[in-house]
Amino acid sequence: DTEVTQTPKHLVMGMTNKKSLKCEQHMGHRAMYWYKQKAKKPPELMFVYSYEKLSINESVPSRFSPECPNSSLLNLHLHALQPEDSALYLCASSQDIGTAFVEQYFGPGTRLTVT
């Protein structure tokens, strides 16, 4: 199983809503990532978790709150988002971040629209 799954595939939310994006992998990977991708732009790193601990936060606004409840799951909690936060949110995982060459496997993404 070399798959990273993400739910939901599409999400429309208002600026006052609270929602969560979910990501799951069963490859035994110990590093998980959240990226944000705007249309016709490359993915931009948001957060990195290593062994269920947050290791990188790319100065992401606090309205985005990541959570890694166990080694297979990664959540992104959303609250009071702005329309400019509308984007494709990609989750990725890799085997380990303690060695070089860590191929990242990407999920299909959640397309988020904030109205």
Partner 1 sequence: GQNIDQPTEMTATEGAIVQINCTYQTSGFNGLFWYQQHAGEAPTFLSYNVLDGLEEKGRFSSFLSRSKGYSYLLLKELQMKDSASYLCALERNSGYALNFGKGTSLLVTP
Q: Catalog residues that contact partner 1 under the rule CB under 8 A.
A: 4, 31, 33, 41-45, 48, 50, 55-56, 90, 94, 97, 100-109
- Provide the token pair at 19: 């929602």
Alpha-carbon distance of 21 to 75, in angstroms, equals 6
CB atoms within 10 A of CB 100: 5
In the complex with partner 1, which residue's Cβ is closer, 17 or 105?
Answer: 105
Least distance from partner 1 to the Cβ atom of residue 105, Å: 8
In the complex with partner 1, which residue's Cβ is closer, 80 or 97?
Answer: 97
